[in-house]
Copies of this chain bind each other. A is one copy, B any other.
């Protein structure tokens, strides 16, 4: 049920771009994202490139180059990012909306597991589609206001 590191990096990078988003066409250097989030620069490069083909970010080349969100942060959801980087959000592909695949069980329509997995998928999709990068940036800004270790809740 885990996200790949690749997917996690993608979200963390988008969080940075969303946090620093401005209406003009200012860009953020890979270098800077990499440093802020402890992500290997070369690897991040690949990920951002993927997100570019996906239409999530755009890039500017050259000495003053870098990346920026292609659309306004409130037009990009976490679901979109993960679907492009990782594929299906559904825990099993026989309940996936966008990546459906038949599974090996004898009768999908009578599979109780499948019914539960569908519930699970609905929950996951709901959270991921409801969360936009704009909301994420707001949350990040709110967290920055907090005092150091407000009660560093470890789970």
What is A's interface to B at a CB cutoff of 8 Å? 1-3, 8, 11-12, 15, 36-39, 78, 82, 86-93, 95-97, 100, 103-106, 109-113, 115-116, 118-120, 123-124, 126-128, 131, 136-137, 139-140, 143-144, 146, 149-150, 152, 154-155
The reply to whether A119 and B124 contact each other, CB–CB distance below 8 Å, is no
A93 and B2 contacting across the interface, CB-CB below 8 Å: yes
- A82 / chain B contacts, CB cutoff of 8 Å: 1
By a CB distance below 8 angstroms, the chain B residues around A8 are 92, 103, 113
Q: Are A124 and B154 in contact (CB under 8 A)?
A: no
Instruction: Knowing A95-B155, A106-B36 are in contact, say whether A1-B115 is a contact too (CB < 8 A).
Output: no
Q: How many chain copies does the complex carry?
A: 2
With A2-B92, A92-B2, A155-B96: A140-B112 Cβ-Cβ less than 8 Å: yes
Is A90's CB under 8 angstroms from B120's CB? no
Interface of A is mostly: helix
Residues in B with CB closer than 8 Å to A110 are 140, 143-144, 146
A139-B103 Cα distance, complex, nearest whole Å: 19
B140 contacts A109, CB within 8 Å? no
Minimum C-beta distance from A145 to chain B (A): 9
